[in-house]
Amino acid sequence: MAYTVTLKRGEERRILRGHSWVYANEAEKITGEGTNGSLADVVTHDGRFVGRGYINHLSKILVRIFIRDKDVWDTEELFMERLTRANAFRRDMGFDNSYRVCFSDSDFLPSLVVDKYGDVLSVEILSLGFRLKRDVIVNCLKKIFSPAAIYERSDSPVLKKEGIPPFTGLIYGEMPEKVVIEENGLKIAVDIPGGQKTGYYLDQKFNRYAIRRHAAGKRVLDCFSNTGGFSLNAATVADKVKAVDISGHALATLRENAALNGLNNISTVEADVFEYLREAKKRGEKYDMIILDPPAFCKSAAEVPGAVRGYRDINAAALKLLSPGGTLVTASCSHYMTPVLFEKTLGEAANGAGVDLKIVEKRMQSPDHPALVGFPETEYLKFYICKI
């Protein structure tokens, strides 16, 4: 007999609206037998079927529901159907060379991320149940894509909360010496084994292109530049671009990307961005556009107050370096930093810098990272283009 998780009275409401996580403190009782990573049925207080998913007693997320039909099970056919449908969704929107194939809960495969970089797939698996299905997932991806290689990048700190060790490495095929993708008409070298997340931040694709209409002929400062997604797009139209990042390895890749595209108007600075902005103010530096795309300042609700201070301070510091009429491009990739809170923080930053700020564009993550209605965690990226 498999596990059955009976919810406390009323706890099913959020799940029935589309959320797929069942937290341990929402369970009234667990009956039956099984092992961590096995399927468990989730039922209401009075026994009505809610869904089915993999259970993990070591995690605060007790069950990740991905089956809503009582007659459906976790067969290879199910995985094949879900992944095929997810890929078709992206292809119908015109995605081809590089894109997110599967976005976890938004594609009804919670904790599974698949990114396509040319003919190489990068996979991230962040739960025990789906790790146990790795061979099934790989088989499906081979059938759908016939890739040259599949590389796994399951090295997130979240895995500690799942009680499973991280894993990175080649799980199928042979990795090419270099992976170069095309994005917005640019060539981008992607370091899948050593880059951020699965290799490259695909979620900012259209936001990177959007800054071009504000960067023509401008002096641009790209903070937290990583491997240069924003710098390269700005450099196609800007006068000069300066990219600042704390990672020398990322900046080396940025310079490689600039050379790939024949862009010679980008300079790089290896530095802590907070310190650089403070020193730039002392030196009297001025820019026409400043881009702030920092890593998440908060990954839990408890970290929000500190994140607010961080976002407020760094945006204020950037605003002080902008010329009159200058453009601030600023982002937050933390779900816990809501749009309302982020805008309030931007207002405080503008007040602290002594400027008036107009929001001219509000954007979110690229549509190959769709947000699932009823699951607010899937809508995480806030992206604002503002003018002094």
Over residues 343-384, the pLDDT tens digits come to: 999 999 999 999 999 999 999 999 999 999 999 999 999 999
pLDDT in the model for residue 177: 86
In contact, 122 and 200? CB cutoff 8 Å:
no
For 216-233, write each residue's pLDDT tens digit: 999 999 999 999 999 999
Contact 67, 52 (CB under 8 A): yes
Tokens of 6: 């009976």
Q: What is the CATH number of domain 76-179?
A: 3.30.750.80
Query: What was the pLDDT predicted at 327?
Result: 98
pLDDT, tens digit, for every residue of 17-29? 999 999 999 999 9
Classify residue 204 by its DSSP letter. Answer: G
Comparison of pLDDT for 295 and 328, the residue scoring more: 328
Phi, psi torsion values for 367, nearest 5 degrees = -65, -10
Q: What is the pLDDT of residue 138?
A: 98
Question: Is the backbone of residue 108 left (phi > 0), alpha (psi -120 to 50) or beta?
Answer: left
**Is 333 a known active-site residue?**
yes
Give the bridge partners for 327, in sequence order: 289, 387
Which of these, 347, 365, 363, lies nearest to 355 by C-alpha position? 347
Backbone angles phi, psi at 119, to 5 degrees: -100, 20
pLDDT of residue 163 exceeding 70, the answer is yes
- CA-nearest of 275, 211, 233, 224 to 251 is 224
User: Is 201-387 CATH 3.40.50.150?
Assistant: yes
Predicted pLDDT of residue 128: 96
Report the run of H or E that residue 115 belongs to, with start and end. strand 112-117
Which candidate in 102, 298, 333, 386 is catalytic?
Answer: 333
- Residue 296, pLDDT score: 87
Over residues 244-273, the pLDDT tens digits come to 999 999 999 999 999 999 999 999 999 999
User: How would DSSP label each residue in 345-367?
Assistant: HHHHHHHHHT---EEEEEE-S-T
Q: What is the mean pLDDT of residues 336-343?
A: 95
298: pLDDT strictly greater than 90: no
The count of C-alpha atoms lying within 13 angstroms of the C-alpha of 220, restricted to the half-sphere facing its C-beta, is: 30
The residue among 33, 53, 34 whose CA lies nearest residue 42 is: 53
> How far lies 368's CA from each of 23, 26, 222, 371, 372, in Å?
27, 32, 24, 9, 12
Cβ partners under 8 Å of residue 358, min gap 6: 386, 387, 388
Single-letter amino acid, residue 223: C
Four-residue CA torsion sign, 203, 208, 213, 219:
positive
Distance CA 28, CA 32 (A): 14
β-strands 219-223, 287-292 pairing: parallel
- pLDDT over 70 (residue 49): yes
Q: Which residue's structure tokens are 């007693």?
A: 57
Question: How confident is the model over 61-86, as a mean pLDDT?
Answer: 98
In this prediction, residue 299 carries a pLDDT of: 81
Confidence of residue 203 (pLDDT cuts 50, 70, 90): very high
CATH of region 3-67, choose from 2.30.130.10, 3.40.50.300, 1.10.10.10, 2.60.120.10: 2.30.130.10
284-295 pLDDT, tens per residue? 999 999 999 998
Instruction: Say whether pLDDT at 316 is over 90.
Output: yes
Query: Residue type at 87?
Result: N
Cα angle value 216/220/222 (rounded, 5°)? 130
Domain coordinates in residue numbering, the chain: 3-67, 76-179, 201-387
The 10s digit of each residue's pLDDT in 98-122 is 999 999 999 999 999 999 999 999 9
Burial degree of 218 (CB within 10 A; 0-12, 13-18, 19+): buried
* Residue 133, pLDDT above cutoff 60: yes
d(CA 336, CA 379): 10
Q: What is the mean pLDDT of residues 128-152?
A: 98
Does residue 46 register a pLDDT over 60? Answer: yes
- Give the integer Cα–Cα distance in Å for 29 and 112: 27
pLDDT at 1 over 70: no
The answer to whether residue 195 scores a pLDDT higher than 90 is: no
Confidence of residue 301 (pLDDT cuts 50, 70, 90): confident
Name the average pLDDT for the chain.
96
